[in-house]
Amino acid sequence: MKSSLSLRHFLLALAVVAVWGSNFVVIKLALSQMPPLLFATLRFAVVVLPMVFFLKRPAVPWRNLAGYGLLIGVGQFGLLFVAMNGHISPGLASLVIQVQVFFTIGLAMALAGEGLQRVQWIALALGASGLGVIVAHTDGSTTLLGLGLILLAALSWAGGNLVSRAAGRINMVAYVVWSSLFAVPPLFVLSLWVEGWDALAAGVQGAGLGAWAAVAWQAWGNSIFGYAAWGWLLARYSAATITPMALLVPVFGMASSAWWLGEPLPLWKLGAAALVLSGLALNLLWPWWVRRRKT
């Protein structure tokens, strides 16, 4: 495994995190034309079709695919889209959902019966402090409901991480495509139940080219390109080299939201971002630093 990124591969990793970060602006724009659960349904339907006919099903149990599809499709993205439909700003959504890192660690340690190390407690405290700043400044653009939904989405994402980890070394693109089969039906049923048939019909009929482009971007840019490129990089470089690049996702998210949507970036929001990102960076980079000291 290489430990130093070439310029070309650094730019590829940067492109992936830029796509993932700016994706929150794309979501917000699409939600202005169609209901959130319908948007989620279409997103995963386009991931499945036509790719499911060209990618071999990963050699994992069906229950693993179902678990990942439900946790990521319904839990993460379903709740994320509902939250962003007027309950939280795109920039803050891109930041808060990154606490999935802490949830993933907590769930993994709970299942293994292990405790947190001192550094992980410090990282968790930094992240929690950042969330506390956000809670203290909830307003018309960000509500407690929106914040709660994003935290539940992050928890679902963490659960999905553990399910995918149990799948072992697999083709991640094929895994995402086949697991999406289990996301589409429940999302469609929820959309019918919560949003109603009239809203679904109006959303499909009234959606402009921009909304359909957002659906395609969600499926092909965010999922297919993002996972394929990230998996390709992880196969060639150590996780310690690639994973810290993900810290730039909320940076791109907040910057693109400020640029395209005019989302304000007051000092409290920048301070909250600094606290959360410091916690994430400490958690990701501390093990790497310890290994470097030993060598």
**pLDDT above 90 (res 39):** yes
Tell me if 2 is assigned to some domain: no
Strand, helix or coil for residue 47: helix
Tell me if 178 is assigned to some domain: yes
**Mean pLDDT, range 89-104, rounded to an integer:** 85
**Mean pLDDT, range 76-84, rounded to an integer:** 96
Q: How confident is the model at residue 68 (pLDDT cuts 50, 70, 90)?
A: very high
Model confidence over 103-144: pLDDT tens digits? 887 887 777 766 667 777 888 888 888 888 877 777 667 788
Query: Model-level pTM?
Result: 0.87
* Cβ atoms 133, 75 nearer than 8 A: no
Bridge partner residues of 81 (DSSP): none
- Residues 6 or more apart whose Cβ sits within 8 Å of residue 112: none
* Structural domain harbouring 181: 7-116+145-266
Tokens of 146: 């929106």
Model confidence over 147-186: pLDDT tens digits? 999 999 999 988 988 888 888 878 888 999 999 999 999 9
Number of Cα atoms under 13 Å in the Cβ half of residue 217: 20
Domains identified in the chain, total number = 1
Model confidence over 218-277: pLDDT tens digits? 899 988 888 888 878 877 776 666 767 777 888 888 889 889 888 888 888 888 888 888
In the numeric block, the tokens 């301070």 are attached to: 271
C-beta neighbour count of 156 within 10 angstroms: 23
Q: DSSP states of 175-213 as a string?
A: HHHHHGGGTHHHHHHHIIIII-HHHHHHHHHH--HHHHH
In the numeric block, the tokens 């071999």 are attached to: 56
Tell me if 275 is assigned to some domain: no
Furthest-apart CA pair in the chain: how many Å?
Answer: 63
Tell me if 88 is assigned to some domain: yes
